[in-house]
Structure 1
């Protein structure tokens, strides 16, 4: 009987093949383990190892790994080689903080399709006894973090190992530091699965930059970008049709013709409606450019791409227009930017009255500065309404302005900050603004917004909304709120939002933006007539109350 049992066990051990792992599974698990150890393992987090070289070695070693057993042997040997991790009593302490946990997800550690029980126990132990001291790879400035001590390998394609390093580095930045990871259209784990074969297939500089740009775009964050001259010149072009235009209803409306150094006339005229460029409609161009340009929502995407529509590397662009009710096809000459002459715009007023009776004031929030606020308020405080134009980027005026306008101190916002002792957790802090103020502004506060209203402008709009007679008029804002983290990836400048921002009741603003009380967008008809339809609607509201 004993011999029979032995034979059965022997048969089963021979008959069950080792569980194979795919190339994608190997690299996906390596990315996650490498990033986790970088920030969580005490010795690695202190900078005791050349962590890039460790990754290069493991990428090479994975070539010889064929099954789950071999993969886990590799991880066990690697983790053991990093040194003993002592028990961390401080890690067990309960912080007196309110945590935001929508980004916190270590379920991958317990994936038994990939990891053995021994590796799961090792990783779980490191999580529970993680590094809580300074980290070699990031620092703190106040409550913000910044990345440091990262090796640069330049922006040229050199090797498969380096492009995978840049993918893994960026993916883990987002995994542990991006407050809106949970908000992306595509699950961040799925992004890694999709991008690994794309990075593996890179063979030249342009492909490298485009694939990096596609990765950055996966954040769905209007604060994110990748500055690549190679993409700008090759994908968008160095030449441009010398006109300025507005955007409405999926079309471009020519508003101004710029002259050129050759004194040549263009075929376009003010009022022309452009609906097709080189065989693509404007929405099709938005989708085409949008693959490489990140934005929080569709209007934020349009804001970031609309200046690119009439760029090209060709001497001319074929466009289709509507002029005086007739459709026309034109081949329009392009010029290098240095050959286009732009008129200096008239100096805008920081604030002004909009009527002779001085009942309505207007403040351009994009140019008024802190030092101007007292004078502005002395002049406008007796008006019946003040229009604050936030279709721009303000100059750090939110705090002093709140002290002038609001009747009391109020919580208007809450931020989430990265918990640097337990990465991918964030903690919540509520922000108050204003002061007890019997001399607060008693008239109507009208706020103008559109897709250009982003970040600090959105925060300022939320502050102004705390006024008891406030009304927000315009269209949805950019939906990118919170300070940004700037850094480099593959030697190229990039960024993403570093702090999360929410209403006091935890309603989100990211990707949604500030939703106006009265919705109004520019129209083709209005742009052709040179109207500011958003401002006109604000004046109508002030006049009628509706």
Structure 2
């Protein structure tokens, strides 16, 4: 649930006494005005000004501002210095679009905590006569937005002003371009209020990266990440226990023991069930990672962090585990990745029959390519049923596959695109897929899904769902769907979802995922026995209809 602003204010007062509430409010208003002018003001959006330098100057000037009147004088003089904003007749034209407005909120312009009436009117005038032409700071490639012409100051902590710049940049990216801003747990305005004092208190490179990672995690978006070697090596560790494992029921089940260059004996065994790592349960480990790793939901968080559980910078890890009905406590040695011998994985089959009578076909969607689809269908079209395994990431096969499997063109998804003429507004388009096809596949289709089914895989699942005899089996998908916007913040690679994706009726999938028709998850017992319980449930359904 969204936090209430008053709790944020109390939190700040208790945890960041060095900054007065007014100091934080000044910077909060500056972030919003700076971002708004950057994208809306016709002169600023042309790249006429060095906009980073303008921010640095205003941060300095804010130090001399002691009251609301002085704050408004600063903004008034600033806006006047940017030049006249002429009437924009085209801004009044009504577009023939279906608008999605859950993200659109410029009500802060009229916030009397910050602004007197004359400033609110100046900002409203800019809004009504905004730039609707090319913008210096972003472009559009097909349906995707990309950011450009942003100065990089590197990934090292240089100064508080540059730290605030990176915060303000990122906050405004989400404010104007993130289609799921309205879905974040914490109101995005409250995120700004909370993060300003944290950025002001940064004093090292590591703290800088962790604070940036915390900011990115506030998007609650499984597409989002912040690639920081500093965090990876120092926060999570560069040594690990030489095993492979699967996650089930809040525990780790060991599936393989890996050899090392040192040929040392490993006290762990296949089938061991780990429930505690260095005095933290597995759910507690997930919560500890969660502050810095963005995800759409709990199962998305697990997907992202499950490979980190047994990393450390120490030469050993203390584990508690279950083995043959007994609880054991073991101190297990860790190794650098270069010292662990990993077996080369066997390339999986792209498709095959999985029953003795060749009535059920199976397609691994993570490996099959577009050019394979014709031969695959030639081999499997005689099958009574085909299982499409989407517990992976497909290779852009959705459109040609739809033309093979579906009987006709159908609406399978609604997409929300950013309106680049009125930022923070999005417009909706219903997407068709497939074509009129009398020779479509008339057997049963089963789609296997889980938390690894993300983005393109979720869209492909929804396409397959349009088949008249389709059934989705597994667990909720990732809940992160739509094209991504990739960029750098403080010199570090990052991204977030840039296009909203919904069911044809407008029902949400972000943060929820696609809910299967039949829900089944792997169990500890099944993993220990080497079974694929999701596939087994699919075969049970195909054999019994239940």
Normalising by the smaller structure, the TM-score range is over 0.9
Residues 350-389 of structure 1 mapped to structure 2, 5 A cutoff = 350-389=350-389
- CA distance in 2 between counterparts of 1:545 and 1:326 reads 40
- The aligned residue for residue 10 of structure 1 is none
**Does structure 2 retain, via aligned residues, the 8 Å contact 1:239–1:335?**
yes
Deviation at 1:21, TM superposition (A): 7.0
| Higher gyration radius (CA) | 1
**Does structure 2 retain, via aligned residues, the 8 Å contact 1:446–1:472?**
yes
- CA distance in 2 between counterparts of 1:214 and 1:319 reads 28
- The aligned residue for residue 505 of structure 1 is 505
- The aligned residue for residue 457 of structure 1 is 457
Deviation at 1:109, TM superposition (A): 0.3
- CA distance in 2 between counterparts of 1:177 and 1:220 reads 15
- The aligned residue for residue 204 of structure 2 is 204
Residues 96-495 of structure 1 mapped to structure 2, 5 A cutoff = 96-495=96-495
- CA distance in 2 between counterparts of 1:403 and 1:255 reads 39
Deviation at 1:356, TM superposition (A): 2.1
SS at match of 2:28: helix
- CA distance in 2 between counterparts of 1:291 and 1:534 reads 31
- CA distance in 1 between counterparts of 2:452 and 2:303 reads 7
- The aligned residue for residue 23 of structure 1 is 23
- CA distance in 1 between counterparts of 2:370 and 2:223 reads 25
Deviation at 1:345, TM superposition (A): 1.2
- CA distance in 2 between counterparts of 1:499 and 1:390 reads 21
- CA distance in 2 between counterparts of 1:442 and 1:129 reads 55
Q: Taking structure 1 as the reference length, what is the TM-score of the superposition?
A: 0.96
**Does structure 2 retain, via aligned residues, the 8 Å contact 1:21–1:68?**
no
**Does structure 2 retain, via aligned residues, the 8 Å contact 1:21–1:67?**
no
Per-residue deviation, residues 151-207 of structure 1 (Å, max 9, x unmatched) = 000001110100000000000000000000000000000000010010010000000
- CA distance in 1 between counterparts of 2:54 and 2:111 reads 23
SS at match of 1:244: strand
- CA distance in 2 between counterparts of 1:311 and 1:113 reads 48
Q: Taking structure 2 as the reference length, what is the TM-score of the superposition?
A: 0.96
Per-residue deviation, residues 481-535 of structure 1 (Å, max 9, x unmatched) = 0000000000000000000000110001100001000000000000000100000
- CA distance in 1 between counterparts of 2:105 and 2:427 reads 15
- The aligned residue for residue 10 of structure 2 is none
- CA distance in 2 between counterparts of 1:151 and 1:534 reads 49
**Does structure 2 retain, via aligned residues, the 8 Å contact 1:21–1:66?**
no
- CA distance in 2 between counterparts of 1:503 and 1:81 reads 47
Per-residue deviation, residues 304-334 of structure 1 (Å, max 9, x unmatched) = 0000000000000000000000000000000
**Does structure 2 retain, via aligned residues, the 8 Å contact 1:317–1:333?**
yes
- The aligned residue for residue 544 of structure 1 is 544
Per-residue deviation, residues 281-313 of structure 1 (Å, max 9, x unmatched) = 000000000110000011000000000000000
- CA distance in 2 between counterparts of 1:406 and 1:21 reads 59
Deviation at 1:355, TM superposition (A): 1.3
**Does structure 2 retain, via aligned residues, the 8 Å contact 1:413–1:432?**
yes
**Does structure 2 retain, via aligned residues, the 8 Å contact 1:480–1:513?**
yes
- CA distance in 2 between counterparts of 1:458 and 1:306 reads 21
- CA distance in 2 between counterparts of 1:273 and 1:21 reads 49
- The aligned residue for residue 8 of structure 2 is none
Alignment length, in residue pairs?
Answer: 527
SS at match of 2:214: helix
- CA distance in 2 between counterparts of 1:179 and 1:163 reads 25
- CA distance in 2 between counterparts of 1:342 and 1:545 reads 41
Per-residue deviation, residues 422-476 of structure 1 (Å, max 9, x unmatched) = 0000111110001111111111100000000000000000000000100000000
- The aligned residue for residue 17 of structure 1 is none
- CA distance in 2 between counterparts of 1:98 and 1:88 reads 22
Q: Which runs of 4+ in 1 moved over 6 A?
A: none
Per-residue deviation, residues 79-115 of structure 1 (Å, max 9, x unmatched) = 0000000000000000011110000000100111210
- CA distance in 2 between counterparts of 1:317 and 1:111 reads 53
* Alignment RMSD: 0.7
Unaligned runs of 5+ in 2: 1-19
- CA distance in 1 between counterparts of 2:356 and 2:450 reads 28
Per-residue deviation, residues 219-261 of structure 1 (Å, max 9, x unmatched) = 0000000000000000100100000000000000000001011
- CA distance in 2 between counterparts of 1:21 and 1:77 reads 24
